[in-house]
């Protein structure tokens, strides 16, 4: 696209443009920084904002990289954390991001107190930069009790800050001064007041226009100082110190154009060569030579070539030192549409939704999105206050709290754009600090890009602290398909490392070590077993005011009705923890239930089981199969000359090879025999046609199912860890397996359809892809009584453009 600039003369002053020329030093440094330090951002789309304890928070994660906000091909790990207002960690998840997109769910604890919570998300790479730019989203838990009051939010003191446009007050240069008033809870506060000079003479008055923000125009006079008094307050506030000489800037946004005025009061600035640089997230759109020899210059720039989002206008002197800076926001949403196939729907009738995205020329976009559909009569939520559009283009590049950022993108609000410019005047942006950039002071790479889960540790000689260099460590994940077997060699310090693993919480990792001479007389110390990853978190205080309570009673009443329905149709779905109680009963019955529990597997109950946790002789054996000799009637276990096992399970007069399972996954005897017996919890036998039928032909020779202590939730003792050359490993951070959102289908009548349908979230769907026509079709079924539903669609095109659709439909059927 051809760059263009409209030049206007003001008072015969010249404002020259010179973009498109050879890169300047500043642009070269920006290009280097963007290439070597690509900025990642995380956004989390949740199904709603208000929840009751015990409910799930469904979410999709979006990770972008670089100034174009393209889906990130870098980080695979997204850390999700839920915090209370007192910085107490409530829940944490590790989500796998596949080329920028991931999904998951957080189950809210049943006993969580009512109040404001913060959902935080980041990648490891983002920790190299200012942690103030981590993603944060308010979550509100509703229980019916009063919201906890934050002690820091008590009081009415006002923090009033002033922001001269461009950065400075300079004698003789008319300047717009933005201001922001914040109360002790961190929220914007309405104020009005007056500005006085040093003689106590009123110069001008002002009042806040939105969220504690406003502006006034001031012509500072040499030798003066200025103060502010708020109406009804005793405090006196001082304006920033007046500069005797300097520069001023004024930016005025008009439809499709940006008007810039630069001023100076320096008597003879003609020696200096000034340039103004305009960039958006580091992407330079204009470099302009500014001639201030006559004291003032004006230019009009088309905004068509400026990317959407926050743009920086910075004036530099001939030594590339920044003199002034101003932020402006360019809003350029794409064309979106969401339509339903009908106007009215009966209870439990299927709704078909069609979504389409195009640019202004009608050309389609491809991309990924997520969608939440809420029954508006059963939730407290209204239209989302935060979306991927407001996050990526606005709040992710601003320091400080912005209340209800979607307010500024309401097309029906005629004041929204003017108020958004107040945000630009009163917030600083510090992802890029010019002084650091010009002095080559770049971030250090303390936190690398993570492509998966890592496991590291040290291999020692058995029962000693002597390290084992050049040893072998084998890692087995038998639950992956196909089974994952990796091998690493220890370095001179006995260290071993496995990187970029795809490990889920349900996986069971096994480590087996050997010395450099192939002996088993080694032991492990695994880093992740000693301590979990510790991340220093920035301090934050809850800045959410006490929520309106009018809709809480209905919300909680509907929750109570849903719980009663669940108890009636699924008694085990909800329960109350009564703590530890003593139950006296039939000893034989208790033993019978214990036996049944030990025989339980994913394939049903086995015919017999042997419990190794109650058998102290396990440690005397080096092979689990030799420990099983004589433990099951009708089962013959023989050990070969090199330790290989042969197992014969006699049933029906036929002899076939036995099937072996490790934590419910088929495997071979060699893998199991290579594990130390101390790792095992129990062995379950399947014998006879009735028991083995579920396994098909593979199980006709009988089945032995081996279960590790880790799989049964039993931790190895410190002594077992210390003296075992084979251990099961539990990592503190492993991926959550994506969970499927329950979406009932009423196309065919089923017995379970007798259950009343009172869903709050009618539909939640992630990873929705737009096809080559920029379209996606989503189908779901109505509940019993939904009449007004809200669609909250958020997504990202493959070219990095965030988008949102928010629509409310009345779908009540006609009787």
Q: Are 605 and 695 within one domain?
A: yes
Residue 414: inside a domain, yes or no? yes
pLDDT of res. 539: 47
Range of the domain at 197: 159-163+171-241
Q: Are 616 and 714 within one domain?
A: yes
pLDDT of res. 99: 95
Residue 728: inside a domain, yes or no? no
Cα–Cα distance for residue pair 795/30, rounded to 1 Å: 28
pLDDT of res. 23: 44
Cα–Cα distance for residue pair 726/487, rounded to 1 Å: 14
Span 708-717, mean pLDDT?
Answer: 79
* Tokens encoding 797: 């095109």
Residue 750: inside a domain, yes or no? no
Say if residue 25's pLDDT is above 80. no
Going by pLDDT thresholds of 50, 70 and 90, the confidence category of residue 339 is very high
Percentage, residues of the chain above pLDDT 90: 54
CATH number of the domain within which 697 lies = 2.170.130.10
Say if residue 203's pLDDT is above 70. yes
Going by pLDDT thresholds of 50, 70 and 90, the confidence category of residue 720 is low
CATH number of the domain within which 764 lies = 2.60.40.1930
pLDDT of res. 370: 98
* Tokens encoding 327: 């932020």
Least confident of 276-280, 509-513, 771-775: 509-513
Last residue of a domain, one of 185, 216, 241: 241
Q: Are 655 and 788 within one domain?
A: no
Span 715-744, mean pLDDT?
Answer: 77
Residue 559: inside a domain, yes or no? no
Q: What is the DSSP string of 404-457?
A: SGGGGG-TT-TTHHHHHHHHHHH----SS-HHHHHTT-PPP--SPPPSSEEEEE
Mean pLDDT taken over the chain: 85
Span 270-285, mean pLDDT?
Answer: 87
Give 650-664 pLDDT, tens digit per residue.
766 667 889 999 888
Cα–Cα distance for residue pair 350/783, rounded to 1 Å: 10
Span 578-589, mean pLDDT?
Answer: 48
pLDDT of res. 602: 87
pLDDT of res. 284: 92
Contact 27, 319 (CB under 8 A): no
Higher model confidence: residue 675 or residue 802?
Answer: 802
Q: Are 318 and 418 within one domain?
A: yes
Higher model confidence: residue 579 or residue 218?
Answer: 218
Q: Are 289 and 350 within one domain?
A: no
Percentage, residues of the chain above pLDDT 70: 86
- Sequence-separated (6 or more) residues with CB below 8 Å from residue 427: 327, 398, 399, 400, 402
Residue 176: inside a domain, yes or no? yes
Q: Are 427 and 326 within one domain?
A: yes
Residue 370: inside a domain, yes or no? yes
Last residue of a domain, one of 500, 530, 560: 530
Say if residue 608's pLDDT is above 80. yes
Span 795-799, mean pLDDT?
Answer: 97
pLDDT of res. 430: 57
Q: Are 10 and 137 within one domain?
A: no
Higher model confidence: residue 305 or residue 24?
Answer: 305
Span 742-759, mean pLDDT?
Answer: 91
- Sequence-separated (6 or more) residues with CB below 8 Å from residue 298: 8, 9, 10, 13, 15, 259, 260, 261
Give 342-371 pLDDT, tens digit per residue.
989 999 999 999 999 999 889 999 999 999
Say if residue 24's pLDDT is above 60. no
Span 126-147, mean pLDDT?
Answer: 85
Q: Are 182 and 206 within one domain?
A: yes
Say if residue 241's pLDDT is above 60. yes
Going by pLDDT thresholds of 50, 70 and 90, the confidence category of residue 213 is very high
For the beta carbon of residue 537, count every other beta carbon within 10 angstroms.
14
Residue 749: inside a domain, yes or no? no
Cα–Cα distance for residue pair 61/77, rounded to 1 Å: 11
pLDDT of res. 814: 55
Contact 119, 391 (CB under 8 A): no
Least confident of 98-112, 237-251, 473-487, 776-790: 473-487
Q: Are 404 and 313 within one domain?
A: yes
Q: Are 425 and 506 within one domain?
A: no
Q: Are 79 and 223 within one domain?
A: no
Residue 704: inside a domain, yes or no? yes
Q: Are 179 and 258 within one domain?
A: no
Going by pLDDT thresholds of 50, 70 and 90, the confidence category of residue 542 is very low
pLDDT of res. 724: 64
Going by pLDDT thresholds of 50, 70 and 90, the confidence category of residue 1 is very low
Distances (CA, A) of 326 to 5, 192, 426, 737, 786: 19, 25, 10, 45, 48
Contact 796, 64 (CB under 8 A): yes
Q: What is the DSSP string of 631-673?
A: SSTTEEEEE-TTS-EEEEE-BTTB--PPEEEETTEEE-HHHHH
pLDDT of res. 443: 81
Nearest C-alpha neighbor of 485 from the set 471, 501, 470:
501
Provide the number of structural domains found in the chain.
6
Span 620-636, mean pLDDT?
Answer: 85
Last residue of a domain, one of 664, 691, 719: 719
Higher model confidence: residue 644 or residue 633?
Answer: 633
Say if residue 719's pLDDT is above 80. no
CATH number of the domain within which 272 lies = 2.60.40.10
Say if residue 479's pLDDT is above 50. yes
Give 41-69 pLDDT, tens digit per residue.
999 999 999 999 999 999 999 999 999 99
Cα–Cα distance for residue pair 402/390, rounded to 1 Å: 10
Contact 220, 175 (CB under 8 A): yes
User: pTM of this prediction?
Assistant: 0.82
Listed ranges 80-89, 237-246, 806-815; the one with the highest mean pLDDT: 237-246
Span 473-494, mean pLDDT?
Answer: 85
Going by pLDDT thresholds of 50, 70 and 90, the confidence category of residue 508 is confident
Say if residue 114's pLDDT is above 70. yes
Going by pLDDT thresholds of 50, 70 and 90, the confidence category of residue 318 is confident
Say if residue 96's pLDDT is above 90. yes
Least confident of 7-16, 448-457, 773-782: 7-16
């Amino acid at each position: 696209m051809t760059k263009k600039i409209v030049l206007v003369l003001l008072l015969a002053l010249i404002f020259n443009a010179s973009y498109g020329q050879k890169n300047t030093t500043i642009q070269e440094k920006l290009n280097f920084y963007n290439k070597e330090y690509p900025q990642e951002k995380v956004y989390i789309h949740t199904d709603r904002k208000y929840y009751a304890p015990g409910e799930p928070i469904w979410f999709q994660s979006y990770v972008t990289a670089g100034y174009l906000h393209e889906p990130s091909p870098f980080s695979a790990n997204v850390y999700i954390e839920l915090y209370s207002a007192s910085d107490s960690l409530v829940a944490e998840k590790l989500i796998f991001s596949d080329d920028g997109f991931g999904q998951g769910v957080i189950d809210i604890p049943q006993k969580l107190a009512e109040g404001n919570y913060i959902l935080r998300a980041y990648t490891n790479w983002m920790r190299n930069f200012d942690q103030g730019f981590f993603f944060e989203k308010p979550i509100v838990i509703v229980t019916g009790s009063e919201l906890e009051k934050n002690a820091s939010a008590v009081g009415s003191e006002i923090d009033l800050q002033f922001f001269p446009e461009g950065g400075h007050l300079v004698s003789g240069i008319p300047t717009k001064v933005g201001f922001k008033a914040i109360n002790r809870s961190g929220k914007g506060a309405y104020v009005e007041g007056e500005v006085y000079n040093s003689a106590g003479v009123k110069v001008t008055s002002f009042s806040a226009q939105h969220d504690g923000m406003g502006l006034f125009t001031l012509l500072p006079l040499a030798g003066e100082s200025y103060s502010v008094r708020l109406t009804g307050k005793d405090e006196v506030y001082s304006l920033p110190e007046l500069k005797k000489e300097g520069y001023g800037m004024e930016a005025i946004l008009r439809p499709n154009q940006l008007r810039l005025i630069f001023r100076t009061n320096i008597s003879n600035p003609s020696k200096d060569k000034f340039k103004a640089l305009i960039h958006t997230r580091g992407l330079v759109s204009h470099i302009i030579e500014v001639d201030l020899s006559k004291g003032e210059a004006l230019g009009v720039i088309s905004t068509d070539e400026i990317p959407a989002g926050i743009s920086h206008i910075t004036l530099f002197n001939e030594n590339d030192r920044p003199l002034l800076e101003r932020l402006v926001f360019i809003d350029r949403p794409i064309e979106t549409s969401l339509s339903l196939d009908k106007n009215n729907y009966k209870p439990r009738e299927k709704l078909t939704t069609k979504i389409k995205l195009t640019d202004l020329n009608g050309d389609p976009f491809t991309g990924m999105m997520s969608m939440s559909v809420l029954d508006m009569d059963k939730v407290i939520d209204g239209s989302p206050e935060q979306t991927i559009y407001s996050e990526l283009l606005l709040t992710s590049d601003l320091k400080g709290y912005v209340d209800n950022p979607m307010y500024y993108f309401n097309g029906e609000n005629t004041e929204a754009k003017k108020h958004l410019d107040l945000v630009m005047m009163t917030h600083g942006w510090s992802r890029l600090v010019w002084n650091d950039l010009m002095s080559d002071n770049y971030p250090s790479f303390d936190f690398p890009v993570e492509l998966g889960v890592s496991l590291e540790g040290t291999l020692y000689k058995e029962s000693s602290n002597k390290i084992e260099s050049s040893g072998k460590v084998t890692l087995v994940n038998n639950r992956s398909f196909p089974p994952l077997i990796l091998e690493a060699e220890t370095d001179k310090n006995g260290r071993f490392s496995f990187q970029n693993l795809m490990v889920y919480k349900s996986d069971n990792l096994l480590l087996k070590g050997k010395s450099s001479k192939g002996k088993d007389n080694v032991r492990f110390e695994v880093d992740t077993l000693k301590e979990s990853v510790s991340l220093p978190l920035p301090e934050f205080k809850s800045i959410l005011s006490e929520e309106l309570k009018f809709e809480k009673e209905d919300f909680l009443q509907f929750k109570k009705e849903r719980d009663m329905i669940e108890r009636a149709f699924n008694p085990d779905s909800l329960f109350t923890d009564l703590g530890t109680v003593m139950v006296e009963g039939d000893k034989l019955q208790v033993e019978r239930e214990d036996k049944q529990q030990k025989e339980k597997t994913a394939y049903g109950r086995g015919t017999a089981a042997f419990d190794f946790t109650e058998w102290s002789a396990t440690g005397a054996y080096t092979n689990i199969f030799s420990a099983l000799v004589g433990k099951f009637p009708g089962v013959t276990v023989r050990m070969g000359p090199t330790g290989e096992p042969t197992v014969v399970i006699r049933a029906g007069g036929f002899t076939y090879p036995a099937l072996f399972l490790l934590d419910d996954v088929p495997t071979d005897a060699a893998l199991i025999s290579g594990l130390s017996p101390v790792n095992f919890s129990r062995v379950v036998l399947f014998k006879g046609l009735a028991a083995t039928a579920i396994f098909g032909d593979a199980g006709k020779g009988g089945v032995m199912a081996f279960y590790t202590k880790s799989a049964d939730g039993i931790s190895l003792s410190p002594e077992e860890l210390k003296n075992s050359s084979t251990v099961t490993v539990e990592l503190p951070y492993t991926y959550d397996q994506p969970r499927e959102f329950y979406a009932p289908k009423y196309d065919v009548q089923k017995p379970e359809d007798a259950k009343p349908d009172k869903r709050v979230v009618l539909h939640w769907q992630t990873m929705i892809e737009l096809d080559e026509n920029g379209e996606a079709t989503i189908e779901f079924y109505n509940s019993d009584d939904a009449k007004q539903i809200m669609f909250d669609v958020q997504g990202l095109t493959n070219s990095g453009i965030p988008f949102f659709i928010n629509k409310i439909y009345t779908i009540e059927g006609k009787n």
